[in-house]
């Protein structure tokens, strides 16, 4: 099966053999598991560099799908949104959630069994309790000084 292309235009288990910098755009985008955690506001400890996730989500996150409601135009509404790319992952991997495929691959770790690329089902990330579906608060409803009250722990 090595080298074969599936019906979505992805090489078979490409994440195991293709370096991140050589992935096609479609392969790169397919790494996203749809958990919604990258759209959560994070707090970074200036002394330790530790990054904590909060349940306070970007105003564009659709809490029911865990996807950006305006992905292609998000910078028009959220200029500070980081577009993660192979050429900048070395600067941004540290703030990605520990369960994120981009961070896992950057750290040389395998994807979890619930990842849609492994399971073949985009719902497994939600059934595994990894996603933020139905668990976020909109950033425009919480004062930034109170974000610390909404720090969450990752399930894995």
Helix (H) or strand (E) holding 79: none
Distance CA 24, CA 37 (A): 23
> For the segment 120-132, what is each residue's pLDDT rounded down to a tens digit?
999 999 999 999 9
pLDDT band at 1 (very low <50, low <70, confident <90, very high): very low
Token duo for residue 36: 């919604």
Phi, psi of 4 (to 5 degrees): -75, 155
Strands 151-152 and 51-57: antiparallel
Residue where the block lists tokens 């050429």: 87
Q: Note the pTM of the prediction, 2 decimals.
A: 0.88
pLDDT at 83: 87
Strand, coil or helix: what is 96? coil
């Amino acid at each position: 099966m090595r080298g074969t292309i599936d019906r979505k235009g992805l090489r078979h288990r490409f994440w195991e053999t293709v370096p991140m910098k050589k992935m096609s755009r479609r392969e790169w985008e397919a790494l996203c598991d749809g958990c919604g955690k990258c759209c959560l506001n994070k707090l970074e400890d200036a002394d330790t560099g530790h990054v904590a996730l909060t349940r306070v989500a970007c105003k564009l996150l659709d809490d029911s799908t865990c996807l950006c409601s305006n992905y292609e135009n998000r910078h028009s509404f959220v200029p500070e949104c980081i577009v993660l790319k192979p050429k900048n992952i070395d600067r941004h991997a540290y703030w990605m959630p520990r369960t994120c495929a981009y961070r896992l691959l950057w750290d040389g770790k395998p994807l979890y069994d619930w990842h849609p690329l492994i399971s073949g089902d985009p719902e497994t990330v939600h059934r595994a309790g990894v996603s933020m579906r139905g668990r976020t608060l909109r950033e425009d409803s919480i004062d930034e000084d109170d974000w610390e009250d909404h720090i969450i722990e990752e399930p894995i």
